[in-house]
Amino acid sequence: MKQLDLSRNSRIPLLMELVNSMNRLAEPHELVEQFVHALSEAYGRPCVVQLQTRGLGAGEYRVLRVFRGQQGAASPDPRGPVCRGGLLGKVIAVDGPAIWHELEAADDPVLGRDVSGYHSMMAVPLLDSGLGVDWVVILRADAAAFQERDLEEMILRSNLVAAMAGNLNTARQLMKASILIQREIEQISRIQQALLPEELPQIPGLKLAASYRTFDRAGGDLYDVAPVGHRSDWLVDEEDDRWLLLIGDVSGHGPAAAVVMAMFHSILHSYPRRPCGPAELLTHVNRHLCAKRIEQSFVTAFLGFYDPGSRELVYARAGHDPPILKQFPHAGPPTRLDKVGELPLGIIPDVQYSEAKVTLRPGQTLILYTDGITEAKGERGLFGMEGIENSLIACTGEPPCAVKHINDALEAHQTELRPADDQTIVAVQVV
């Protein structure tokens, strides 16, 4: 086996440098300029012309750039004059790759005297690179400088570079679009965050804490704690001391879920009168959500009305996982508020939601949560309601303690897996 000596071939290092430089360039025009520079070095500093014909009439072209020897090139001018005739007119008339020898190009009407010293020309049409360049024309001083092999190689090289430039251009456009989309998502996220309580209120006989983690920047979970009888958008009733306790979850996640959750929040809080109970309010929300076009989305929700005087919690449930009620210090297994529960909201318009009651006792802590908690995946399967209950064994029952223990156990369960859904917890302790 005999290895050929390529040390005298000056074009191979230039072409290798061109290939290496392609991986470092981020702008399409930089790639094209690097390509033309490599041509200049490989072909003895020729004149290189870039033409545009797309969108013009028959026989018309626009000169975008001219590279002459070591002079470099001006920036492309896609608004330059439309030209006809001359050497370049012959190029586009061929409508395909071509070579000309023994040129007489003195006083070309478009390129002028600067091409009078060139006596051979090679022209190659380009794929659409997204840069508006349709032809590359190379002129050299020798009368027969270009051969068929040169043309074959140039067809491949120039169009590969054009394709790479097009890919870079597409990547830049995608990056710009991605930035705009991310800004919109961040704005949606800020709007959604504004729907959550800025801080949890002080309710007589209760302590509260909450945790809200979205799968994406914008999520489909919602929680709320608000007075029922002292709402500015309902008729004020000084004798109604009840408090609304809400947690909800839109199917799916991300911006689409955030939009549906905003609709749910708006419908809930625009109820025209003070509701008698949570079932009435959920029935209203369900009917209006079904009337909206929310694609295949639906909302699960737990809604409770709590009376501090009697410690009675009246609740309704629309497809949501039942809250967990646990006595502290530990006394028996936790209770699940699952005596009632109908379909999620937004599926069937004529669902009538029902109510159940429970009287809370001092020392009890109520845990509201979304299914991003119970359905979190780990090596041992789903976290489940058992994961919540087990995480509370070493807890005092204080709401911040309960939230922290659940989140810590959840993170240990998920290990390094990214959560697949929004995760919300609201802890309510009776004191």
How many domains are contained in the chain? 2
User: Residue 288's pLDDT is what?
Assistant: 93
List strand residue ranges (DSSP E) for 320-397, in order.
324-327, 335-336, 356-359, 364-369, 377-378, 381-382
- The pTM assigned to this predicted structure is 0.65
Residue 180 lies in a domain: no
User: Residue 73's pLDDT is what?
Assistant: 46
Residue 137 lies in a domain: yes
Residue 329 lies in a domain: yes
Residue 204 lies in a domain: yes
pLDDT tens track for 407-424 = 999 999 888 766 777 899
Q: What are phi and psi of 222, to 5 degrees?
A: -150, 140
Residue 99 lies in a domain: yes
136 shares a domain with 272: no
Tell me the angle at which helices 11-22 and 28-42 cross, rounded to the nearest 10 degrees: 180
**pLDDT, average across residues 250-257:** 82
- Give 138's strand partners: 48, 122
First and final CA of the chain: distance in angstroms? 91
92 shares a domain with 57: yes
246 shares a domain with 292: yes
Q: How confident is the model at residue 71 (pLDDT cuts 50, 70, 90)?
A: low
236 shares a domain with 142: no
C-beta atoms surrounding 25 within 10 Å: 16
Cβ proximity of 391 and 409 under 8 Å: yes
Residue 178 lies in a domain: no
Q: How confident is the model at residue 79 (pLDDT cuts 50, 70, 90)?
A: low
Amino acid at 13: P
> Which of 122, 138, 172 is the last residue before a domain boundary?
172
Distance CA 276, CA 353 (A): 13
40 shares a domain with 111: yes
**Could you tell me what percent of the chain has a pLDDT over 90?**
42
DSSP 58: T
Q: In terms of pLDDT, which residue wins out, 123 or 164?
A: 123
pLDDT tens track for 81-110 = 899 998 899 999 988 899 999 988 777 888
Q: How confident is the model at residue 174 (pLDDT cuts 50, 70, 90)?
A: confident
Q: What are phi and psi of 208, to 5 degrees?
A: -135, 150
283, pLDDT greater than 90: yes
Domain ranges, residue 278? 196-430
Contacts of 17 (CB under 8 A, 6+ apart): 38
Q: How confident is the model at residue 180 (pLDDT cuts 50, 70, 90)?
A: confident
C-beta atoms surrounding 423 within 10 Å: 26
User: Residue 306's pLDDT is what?
Assistant: 97
What is the C-alpha radius of gyration for the chain, rounded to an integer number of angstroms?
36
What are the tokens at 196?
């959550």
**pLDDT, average across residues 37-59:** 79
- For the beta sheet containing 364-369, the strands, ordered from the edge strand earlier in sequence to the opposite edge, are 206-213, 423-430, 364-369, 324-327, 335-336
394, pLDDT greater than 80: yes
51, pLDDT greater than 50: yes
222 shares a domain with 98: no
> Which of 140, 172, 204 is the last residue before a domain boundary?
172
299 shares a domain with 345: yes
**Could you tell me what percent of the chain has a pLDDT over 70?**
85
80 shares a domain with 20: yes
CATH number at residue 360: 3.60.40.10
Residue 242 lies in a domain: yes
Residue 372 lies in a domain: yes
**Three-state SS at 341:** coil
216 shares a domain with 87: no
**pLDDT, average across residues 336-340:** 96
Q: How confident is the model at residue 333 (pLDDT cuts 50, 70, 90)?
A: confident
CATH number at residue 23: 3.30.450.40
357 shares a domain with 426: yes
User: Residue 16's pLDDT is what?
Assistant: 74
221 shares a domain with 158: no
335 shares a domain with 257: yes
